[in-house]
């Protein structure tokens, strides 16, 4: 299929010229005393931005280098170093300060240079640097996905950011066989060839413990993963055999894995930046193949797909095998205990959701729902507690009578993943399995105090983190890459819930929001100065949000978008009893000084091709500006 440029794509389905000409605008002049939630939102945006600025001032030098001791590896390596800033682009997109975005970009460019200079002796993966063509040489997408989160959302913050379009299309191309040095994808069998992939292509042999752990470095460090105690200062050379023992059973690498579904985030970005259909088509093809294979396994997402394209193809048809698989119960020699580490949700949830985002096909979410159905069909109730199996197979140390079966029952009911399914489907039947608490309870009218309580909790956490930054006794020569992740002061979860109506779970994100906002005065993403937004109700074809201007002297104008990428469509909006037709993904709202109102939208979800183009780059010029 020939790709069409973005303007043609928009005219074909995203926004008609007539919709732009209409420039739907509402003016709100109803007085509204500043609600506490709005004042807290504005304070949190201000304070968490200031905290990030202080963090960057202390821990990032003028080159953009993170001040720590570099190592290769998945325990405390390059993905952890850049993951330190995992939600800074999201914070800016919500309305955080310009410096937050500037500091992230400085840290990103510095990170590429810093880890480009890393050299290893015990593994070839980083013998000439951790990055090649600005992408990790080879790693698993549990870690690659964590490290790339902020980059995945950079287009939300600034789609014209230097190098973004070129990098994102190039990175996506590494999984579409557009790079002859990174043929990670098999277009015949529709699979990614290994759990270890990157700019150097797939790893088609067993990994080594050194690939996972990297080289030791001299010195004592505050290690976060050890039996001696979190953060304890330990000599790394002496402790190194324990680190190798941590990954002793992680060596199987060949074949596709559900973690690789997270690669679809690259294609989503490439499509939303360029409008080229090939990215959407590849996601539909690749995730569609996973959909078929899951059906072949009775609705269970296989954790190994062989190079022959068959579930369990590297394990004689045992689809539950593989590193990070359903049967991955190992002895962790570092912690000296048996551990069950199944990551079947980590890449598959964002992957199938990305397919929904690009195609509007809810059957992709049906795959995830059926997987949860299978787990809940095996539930047990013990002492009044519901327990679900987390694993499947025939591991050592579990009584399975020699046959594969469900095991390792715990109280983990996958509430976050069920909430995502509901937020994506808005099917009330999906809501039945979710506890009515937190954000979901609030949306259901059962926790009116959630907004204020959660915003106050975030502010308290920001204050606590600032104190930790100010009193941090560590030095660069005693810090490894993962140490500073816990001191990232960017607080975005509550703001994401309350302003965008979005729910982000896990460590690899796919943004599905009901609303996003733009500031036409500053020509930037995020809530304009003094504007607060509170999503109050979400339904399959409707949504309610209150907008308020807490400034008593000056008017503010905000552009409201249907969806994080304009993937939804506003049909109508009701404000103060007056209904207004929209028939597009954008609405301009002028808030007079000290005014506010509840806006009730009728809308259609997942009907537009997603785009990262900001309103003024799509011909949207609010009359007030």
pLDDT per residue as tens digits for the range 239-261: 999 999 999 999 999 999 999 99
Is residue 390 in some structural domain?
Answer: no
Query: Which residue(s) pair with 595 in the sheet?
Result: 31
Please state, in angstroms and as integers, the Cα–Cα distance from residue 547 to each residue in 24, 569, 590, following that order: 16, 19, 10
197 shares its domain with 148: yes
535 shares its domain with 558: yes
Is residue 23 in some structural domain?
Answer: yes
What integer pLDDT is reported at residue 403 of this predicted model? 85
For tokens 């990994």, what's the residue?
Answer: 207
Mean model confidence pLDDT for the chain: 94
Query: Rounded to an integer, what distance in angstroms lies between the CA atom of residue 393 and that of residue 399?
Result: 11
311 shares its domain with 450: yes
What integer pLDDT is reported at residue 222 of this predicted model? 93
3-class secondary structure per residue, 537-596: EEECCEEEEEEEECCCCCCEEEEEEECCCCCCEEEEEEECCEEEEEEECEEEEEECCCEE
598 shares its domain with 474: no
* Domain CATH for 597: 2.60.40.1180
pLDDT bucket at 189, cuts 50 / 70 / 90: very high
Is residue 530 in some structural domain?
Answer: yes
| pLDDT, tens digit (0-9, with 9 covering 90-100), for 357-409 | 999 999 999 999 999 999 999 999 999 999 999 999 987 766 656 789 999 99
Tokens (6 digits) for 129? 């640097």
Backbone angles phi, psi at 162, to 5 degrees: -50, 135
| pLDDT, tens digit (0-9, with 9 covering 90-100), for 258-313 | 999 999 999 999 999 999 999 999 999 999 999 999 999 999 999 999 999 999 99
What integer pLDDT is reported at residue 623 of this predicted model? 46
Is residue 499 in some structural domain?
Answer: no
Query: Which residue(s) pair with 599 in the sheet?
Result: 545, 575
Angular region, 232: left φ>0, alpha ψ -120 to 50, beta rest = beta
483 shares its domain with 594: no
For tokens 């069409």, what's the residue?
Answer: 4
pLDDT bucket at 15, cuts 50 / 70 / 90: very low
**Predicted confidence (pLDDT) at residue 206 exceeds the cutoff of 70:** yes
Number of structural domains the chain divides into: 2
Is residue 136 in some structural domain?
Answer: yes
> Crossing angle, helix 344-359 and helix 363-376, to 10 degrees?
150
pTM of the model: 0.95
589 shares its domain with 541: yes
What integer pLDDT is reported at residue 398 of this predicted model? 67
What integer pLDDT is reported at residue 283 of this predicted model? 98
> Crossing angle, helix 344-359 and helix 415-425, to 10 degrees?
10
Is residue 85 in some structural domain?
Answer: yes
What integer pLDDT is reported at residue 232 of this predicted model? 85
**Predicted confidence (pLDDT) at residue 18 exceeds the cutoff of 60:** no
Query: Rounded to an integer, what distance in angstroms lies between the CA atom of residue 505 and that of residue 518?
Result: 24
Is residue 79 in some structural domain?
Answer: yes
18 shares its domain with 91: no
Average pLDDT on 425-450 reads 97
| Domain end position, chosen among 453, 487, 521 | 487
Query: Rounded to an integer, what distance in angstroms lies between the CA atom of residue 498 and that of residue 448?
Result: 12
Is residue 413 in some structural domain?
Answer: no
Average pLDDT on 425-446 reads 97
Query: Which residue(s) pair with 254 in the sheet?
Result: 194
Average pLDDT on 602-614 reads 98
What integer pLDDT is reported at residue 401 of this predicted model? 66
Query: Which residue(s) pair with 596 in the sheet?
Result: 548
Range of the domain at 568: 6-30+513-617
**Would you tell me how many other CB atoms lie within 10 Å of the CB of residue 498?**
26
**Predicted confidence (pLDDT) at residue 7 exceeds the cutoff of 50:** no
Buried b (16+ CB within 10 A) or exposed e, 399-427: ebeeebebbbbeeebbebbbbbbbbbbbe
Query: Rounded to an integer, what distance in angstroms lies between the CA atom of residue 572 and that of residue 563?
Result: 15
| pLDDT, tens digit (0-9, with 9 covering 90-100), for 553-576 | 999 999 999 999 999 999 999 999
Tokens (6 digits) for 61? 């030098």
518 shares its domain with 473: no
pLDDT bucket at 93, cuts 50 / 70 / 90: very high
| pLDDT, tens digit (0-9, with 9 covering 90-100), for 95-139 | 999 999 999 999 999 999 999 999 999 999 999 999 999 999 999
Contact indicator for 562, 621 with CB cutoff of 8 Å = no
277 shares its domain with 210: yes
Identify the H or E element spanning 598: strand 596-604
Average pLDDT on 25-44 reads 97
Exposed, middle or buried, 243 (CB in 10 Å: 0-12/13-18/19+)? buried
Residue 10: partners with Cβ closer than 8 Å, 6 or more residues away: 275, 609, 611, 613, 618
Average pLDDT on 51-68 reads 98
| pLDDT, tens digit (0-9, with 9 covering 90-100), for 308-362 | 999 999 999 999 999 999 999 999 988 889 999 999 999 999 999 999 999 999 9
Q: What percent of the chain has pLDDT over 90?
A: 91
What integer pLDDT is reported at residue 21 of this predicted model? 39
541 shares its domain with 608: yes
**Predicted confidence (pLDDT) at residue 12 exceeds the cutoff of 60:** no
Query: Rounded to an integer, what distance in angstroms lies between the CA atom of residue 569 and that of residue 210?
Result: 50
**Predicted confidence (pLDDT) at residue 620 exceeds the cutoff of 80:** no
Query: Rounded to an integer, what distance in angstroms lies between the CA atom of residue 278 and that of residue 478?
Result: 46
**Predicted confidence (pLDDT) at residue 3 exceeds the cutoff of 90:** no
> Crossing angle, helix 415-425 and helix 363-376, to 10 degrees?
150
Closest CA to 563 of 367, 402, 360: 360
129 shares its domain with 254: yes
**Predicted confidence (pLDDT) at residue 1 exceeds the cutoff of 50:** no
54 shares its domain with 15: no
**Predicted confidence (pLDDT) at residue 475 exceeds the cutoff of 50:** yes
């Amino acid at each position: 299929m020939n790709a069409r440029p973005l303007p043609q794509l928009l005219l074909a389905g995203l926004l008609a010229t007539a919709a732009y000409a209409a420039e739907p605008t509402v003016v709100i002049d109803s007085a509204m005393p500043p609600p506490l939630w709005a004042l807290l939102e504005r304070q949190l945006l201000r304070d968490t931005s200031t905290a990030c600025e202080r963090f960057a001032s202390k821990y990032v030098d003028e080159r953009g280098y993170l001040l720590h001791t570099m190592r290769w590896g998945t325990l405390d390596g390059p993905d952890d170093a850049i993951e330190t800033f995992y939600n800074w682009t999201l914070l800016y997109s919500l309305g955080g300060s310009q410096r937050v975005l500037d500091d992230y970009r400085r840290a990103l460019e510095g990170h590429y240079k810093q880890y480009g200079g890393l050299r290893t002796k015990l593994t070839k993966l980083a013998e000439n640097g951790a990055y090649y063509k600005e992408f990790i040489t080879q790693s698993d997408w549990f870690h690659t996905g964590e490290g790339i989160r902020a980059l995945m959302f950079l287009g939300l913050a600034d789609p014209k950011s230097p190098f973004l379009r070129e990098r994102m299309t190039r990175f996506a191309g590494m999984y579409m066989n557009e790079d002859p040095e990174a043929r990670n994808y098999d277009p015949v069998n529709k699979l990614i060839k290994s759990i270890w992939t990157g700019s150097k292509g797939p790893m088609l042999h067993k990994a080594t413990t050194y690939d996972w752990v990297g080289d030791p470095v001299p010195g004592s460090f505050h290690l976060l993963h050890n039996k001696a105690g979190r953060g304890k200062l330990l000599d790394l050379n002496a402790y190194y055999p324990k680190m190798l023992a941590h990954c002793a059973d992680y060596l199987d690498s060949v074949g596709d894995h559900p973690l690789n579904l997270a690669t679809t985030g690259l294609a989503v970005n490439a499509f939303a930046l360029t409008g080229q259909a090939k990215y959407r088509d590849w996601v539909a093809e690749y995730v569609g193949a996973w959909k078929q294979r899951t059906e072949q396994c009775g609705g269970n997402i296989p954790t190994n797909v062989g190079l022959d394209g068959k579930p369990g193809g590297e394990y004689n048809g045992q689809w539950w095998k593989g590193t990070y698989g359903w049967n991955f119960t190992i002895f962790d020699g570092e912690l000296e205990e048996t551990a069950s580490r199944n990551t079947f949700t980590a890449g598959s949830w964002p992957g199938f959701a990305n397919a929904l985002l690009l195609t509007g096909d809810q059957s992709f979410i049906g795959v995830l729902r059926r997987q949860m159905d299978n787990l809940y069909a095996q539930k047990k109730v013990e002492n009044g507690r519901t327990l679900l199996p987390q694993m499947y197979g025939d591991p050592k140390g579990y009584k399975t009578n020699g046959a594969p079966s469900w095991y390792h029952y715990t109280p983990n009911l996958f509430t976050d993943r069920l909430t995502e399914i509901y937020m994506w489907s808005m099917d009330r039947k999906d809501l039945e399995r979710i506890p009515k608490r937190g954000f979901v309870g609030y949306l259901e009218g059962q926790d009116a105090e959630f907004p204020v309580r959660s915003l106050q909790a975030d502010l308290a956490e920001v204050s606590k983190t600032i104190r930790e930054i100010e009193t941090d006794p560590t030095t660069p020569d005693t810090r490894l890459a993962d140490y500073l992740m816990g001191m990232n002061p960017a607080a975005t979860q509550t703001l994401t819930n309350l302003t965008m109506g979005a729910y982000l779970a896990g460590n690899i994100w796919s943004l599905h929001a009901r609303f996003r906002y733009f500031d036409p005065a500053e020509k930037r993403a995020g809530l304009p100065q003094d504007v607060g937004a509170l999503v109050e109700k979400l339904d399959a074809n409707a949504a309610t949000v209150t907008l308020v201007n807490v400034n008593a002297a000056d008017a503010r104008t905000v552009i409201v978008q249907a969806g994080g990428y304009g993937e939804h469509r506003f049909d109508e909006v009701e404000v103060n009893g007056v209904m207004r037709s929209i028939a597009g993904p954008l609405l301009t709202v002028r808030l007079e000084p000290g005014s506010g109102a509840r806006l009730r939208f009728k809308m259609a979800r997942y009907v537009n091709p997603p785009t990262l183009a900001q309103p003024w780059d799509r011909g949207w010029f609010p009359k007030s500006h």
